[in-house]
Amino acid sequence: MTAAGPPQPTAPPEAAVAEPRRRLHPLSPVLHGAKSIAVVVAALSWQTLSQVGLERFALVVLVIAVAVVVFSIFGWLTTGYQVVGRELRITDGVVWRRNRAIPLERLQAVELRRPLLAQLTGLAELRLEVIGGGKTEAPLAYLTVREAAALRQRLLALAGRTAQAQPTDQLETAAAPIAPALERALLRVRNRDLVVSQLLTPQAFFLPVGVAFVVLQFVMEGSWTFVGIASTVTAMAGVLLQPVRRVLQDWDFRLARDPEGRLVVRYGLLETRSQVVPLNRVQAVGATWPLLWRGQGWLHLRLDVAGYAGEGGGDSKRSDRLLPVGEFATARGLVWEVLPGVDLAALATSPPPRRARWLNPLALRSIGVGLTPEVLVTRWGLLTREMHLVPYARLQSVRVVQGPLQRRLGLATVYADTARGRSGQAKDRDLAEAYALAAELAVRARRARTPEPTP
């Protein structure tokens, strides 16, 4: 982490928690090896398979997988974790040893992931999101489900301590895991809706055209080799991957509030994820109305949590769903739940001045910005309408940027930066208004921060 952190409220009593360093589950190396098989097969591709033949191909894959397992065993031997005071300490690395201490007050969200193999073996991966890390810090792969759930409860309890500022006994919290039965269910997305929503995407519309093209090509050329078909199918799968992956990932989407008021998100078919986000860690909420979903009146809600910012792999890998698909009424209720006092139906925005049409000839009417008592609302997009809600308390900085064309027209854009990286953007406002807006945002952010210092 960076310097200039908050002054330690109370020095962690090291002696009080002299617990032993714990290992990951012994099956972890095997699971890592199995996981690598898929990667290796993908890397070698169909072309190689046809060139070297099935036996040698399988042999190569096997050898690499065994090598990974052996390497993972060394990794497993050196990996350990322990909770010391209000820190989680993780040791890992085979060649370069790494010892890291994660201050739990910086914990943003905790996720429990269970890929297919882990589900079969009753294991789970625990991922901690800490701000400032380029990627997910410390994925603990793998633990038994019970162990992971208990550790998660414990970490969250320790992390939430600053909020209440009640220094209870360390051991007491550790010994009292909270029963999950007390959760209050908020919503469950119907799988039928999910499938329909993913059929209503450009990729799905492209499918019949693609299939027709491929069939036509084969009929014309009359060459039906295995590798040819397999490659084509893989290519088609590549196009279709996103909707299919979304369906698999968002399958059986459930949302609940746990007894402490944290948000619990569970979803996934092949890989189940269960994510716990304290509400004060929500940096922003985004709503999207895709063009093809308009008929159903559906929308998609996104949750911005700091720490996921650096994770690559695009949209599908991140765990940022608040609502994969749902009706407006549902979304309205959810937004009220996550950002209390914010009514999605009553968010008025004002468009930029008319002269901004030179910069946005078509989409002028769809751009807008509005201030409510709690959040900054920005809106844009003609076909796919989007809305971004940033609570003032989460604002990191405010910027006013004026490009050369905007200067000609006397316009400027105001950015409201959050820790997630995606900024609220008030495009093409009148210059005087932009400065007034920036000043107002700075004042409101300060006011939102000061009354009760958010953890």
Partner 1 sequence: MTVDALTPWPDTVEWRTVSPKLITVELIVRWSWTIILVAGLVVGLVLQGHWLWQLGIALVVLNAIWRSFVTVRAVRAWGYAERDQDLLVRHGLLVRRLSIVPYARMQFVDVTAGPLERAFGLATVQLHTAAAASDARIPGLPPAEASRLRDRLTTLGEDRAEGL
Rounded to whole angstroms, how far apart are CA atoms 205 and 196? 12
Q: Which among 192-200, 224-232, 255-263, 443-451 is the span making contact with partner 1, rule CB under 8 A?
A: 443-451
**Looking at 21, 56, 184, 446, which residue binds partner 1 (CB under 8 A)?**
446
Residue 353 binds partner 1, judged by CB under 8 A: no
Minimum distance from CB of 22 to partner 1 (Å)?
Answer: 26
CA Rg value for the chain: 25
Identify the H or E element spanning 184.
Answer: strand 184-188
The CB-of-443 to partner 1 minimum distance in angstroms stands at 9
Residue closer to partner 1 by CB (options 2, 223) is: 2
Q: How far apart are CA 428 and CA 360, in angstroms?
A: 9
* 454 makes contact with partner 1 (CB under 8 A): yes
Compute φ and ψ for 81, nearest 5 degrees.
Answer: -140, 155
Residue 205: how many other CB atoms lie within 10 Å:
11
Which of the residues 144 through 173 are near partner 1 (CB under 8 A)?
A: 162
CB closer to partner 1 out of 53 and 261? 261
Q: Binding to partner 1 by residue 439, rule CB under 8 A?
A: yes
- CA pair distance 452, 439, nearest whole angstrom: 22
- Is 135 a residue that touches partner 1 (CB under 8 A)? no
Cβ proximity to partner 1, 20 vs 404, nearer residue: 404
Binding mask 419-438 for partner 1 (x = CB under 8 A): xxx-x-------xx--x--x
The closest alpha carbon to 249, from 321, 327, 145, belongs to 321
Return all residues near 11 (Cβ < 8 A) that are at least 6 apart. Answer: none
11 sits near partner 1 (criterion: CB under 8 A): no
- Please give the Cα distance from 278 to 184 (Å, whole number): 15
Nearer to partner 1, 248 or 431 (CB): 431
Selected from 92, 105, 320, 428, the binder of partner 1 by CB under 8 A is 105
Q: Where are the beta strands (DSSP E) in 133-183?
A: 137-144
Would you count residue 113 as binding partner 1 (CB under 8 A)? no
The amino acid at residue 375 is V
For residue 105, give the nearest of 90, 127, 129, 86 by alpha carbon. Answer: 86
Question: 31, 301, 306, 371: which one contacts partner 1 (CB under 8 A)?
Answer: 306
Q: Residue 100 — left, alpha, or beta (φ > 0 → left; ψ -120 to 50 → alpha)?
A: beta
Q: Which stretch binds partner 1 (CB under 8 A): 33-41, 59-67, 103-111, 184-192?
A: 103-111
Residue 442 binds to partner 1 (criterion: CB under 8 A): yes
Q: What are phi and psi of 4, to 5 degrees?
A: 55, 35
Site for partner 1 in 359-418 (CB under 8 A): 394-404, 407, 412, 415, 417-418
Q: Which of 28, 108, 275, 378 binds partner 1 (CB under 8 A)?
A: 108
Strands 80-84 and 87-92: antiparallel
Residue bearing tokens 């064309």: 405
Closer Cβ to partner 1, 143 or 375, answer by number: 375
Task: Decide: is 4 part of the binding site for partner 1 (CB under 8 A).
Answer: yes
Looking at residues 275 to 294 of the shown chain, list those that interact with partner 1 (rule: CB under 8 A). Answer: 281
How is the beta sheet containing 87-92 ordered, strand by strand? 80-84, 87-92, 98-103
For residue 449, the minimal CB distance to partner 1 (Å) is 6
Residue with smaller CB distance to partner 1, 384 or 402: 402
Binding residues for partner 1, total number by CB under 8 A: 48
End-to-end CA distance of the chain: 16
Asked if the peptide bond before residue 435 counts as cis, ω within 30 degrees of 0, the response is no
Kindly list the residues in this chain that would bind partner 1 in the complex (CB under 8 A): 2-7, 105-106, 108, 131-132, 162, 281, 306, 309, 394-404, 407, 412, 415, 417-421, 423, 431-432, 435, 438-439, 441-442, 445-446, 449, 453-455
